Amino acid sequence: MPPLPKAELHLHIEGTLEPELAFALAERNGVELPYATQDELRAAYSFTDLQDFLNLYYALMAVLRTEDDFADLANAYLARAREQGVRHAEIFFDPQAHTARGVDIGTVIRGLTRALDAAPRAYGITTRLIMCFLRDESAESARATFESARPYLDRITAVGLDSAEVGHPPSKFREVYALAREAGLKCVAHAGEEGPPAYVWEALDILGVDRVDHGVRCLEDETLVARLVADQVPLTVCPLSNVRLRVVDRLADHPLPAMLDAGLLVTVNSDDPSYFGGYAEDNFTAVRDALGLDQAALRTLARNSFRASFLDEETRAAYL
């Protein structure tokens, strides 16, 4: 069966950097990688937790230097996404991970948007960009990043919050989210991946998020689940990521069916597909096989992905 048409709502563009492209860009930019071969690099993709993954994820970004690099990265993702039934992608990027290495935020955004602007015709995929703040950096750094992005805000749909969660609650970023909302941007945040349900409450009540990224730990707080259900707040769940980062032990133990049964507006996404063993459809087939989800449940997940998207009402309705 061809893959169901779907929207990808939780996808870090830097997490789509495949070993093959990493080596090609390293060569092009004269960057030395601490791995001799692609296989040696792939062998390092065994993670004990989120931080263990993030260490490699940030290190490998050293190969991304020019506008062309960011355009090539996005084009490689879009070509894969098309094969996986993705019709619409809302794509995270981490500006601070690049500006900290001396790469200008304009270089990042111009490179990405060059590929994204061509994507409807080249791949049949519409896109949005979500600018994430690194929560393990300071609130001041997030605010300075937001100010440096002001010339490009017409290209950015939402702000997000990612990187090491525990110890960095959403409330730390109250001011910059207020600025983003004032500027007319949507808001999302990673919460309840490794962090407690209290972080999901903060994302909702202090940051005013339109969606919660991950959110799987909401199940530990039934009042929180009731709130998420009542408001139909979308959760962008990433099953293969949760296994690789040991949020769950095995895919067969994943709480996705319980989340659907609870009436949560759940979507299935790929997070960092190069590192976690699969793109969007790979996540759909993995949950089908491990959790016994039937075709009706998969169709619900695909429909939810459009319902939860930032597409305008009319375009969204055409997918439902």
Binding residues (CB under 6 A) for ligand ADE: these are 12, 15, 50, 57, 162-163, 190, 193, 241, 271-272
What is the maximum span of the chain, computed from C-alpha positions, in angstroms? 53
Distance CA 66, CA 228 (A): 41
Distance CA 269, CA 280 (A): 6
Q: Can you tell me whether residue 129 is helix, strand or coil?
A: strand
Q: Which of 14, 18, 193, 194 is catalytic?
A: 193
84/241 with CB nearer ligand ADE: 241
Q: Which two tokens stand for residue 271?
A: 């997070």
67/234 with CB nearer Zn ion: 234
Q: Does the annotation flag 12 for ligand binding? A: yes
Rounded to a whole number of angstroms, the minimum distance from the CB of residue 238 to Zn ion is 6
Q: Does the annotation flag 104 for ligand binding? A: no
- Distance from first CA to last CA of the chain, Å, rounded? 20
Rounded to a whole number of angstroms, the minimum distance from the CB of residue 291 to ligand ADE is 20
Distance CA 33, CA 22 (A): 9
275/306 with CB nearer Zn ion: 275
Is residue 193 annotated as part of the catalytic site, yes or no? Answer: yes
Contacted entry of Zn ion, ligand ADE, none for residue 193, CB cut-off 5 to 8 Å set by kind: ligand ADE
Burial class (CB in 10 A: 0-12, 13-18, 19+), 48: exposed
Q: What is the DSSP string of 245-293?
A: TTSSS-GGG-SHHHHHHTT-EEEE--BSHHHHT--HHHHHHHHHHHH--
Contacted entry of Zn ion, ligand ADE, none for residue 163, CB cut-off 5 to 8 Å set by kind: ligand ADE
42/303 with CB nearer ligand ADE: 42
According to CB under 5 A, which residues from 244 to 283 bind Zn ion?
A: 271
Q: Does the annotation flag 190 for ligand binding? A: yes
8 binds Zn ion (CB under 5 A): no
Which residues have a catalytic role annotated?
193
Binding site for Zn ion (CB under 5 A): 271
List residues forming the annotated binding site for substrate.
Answer: 272
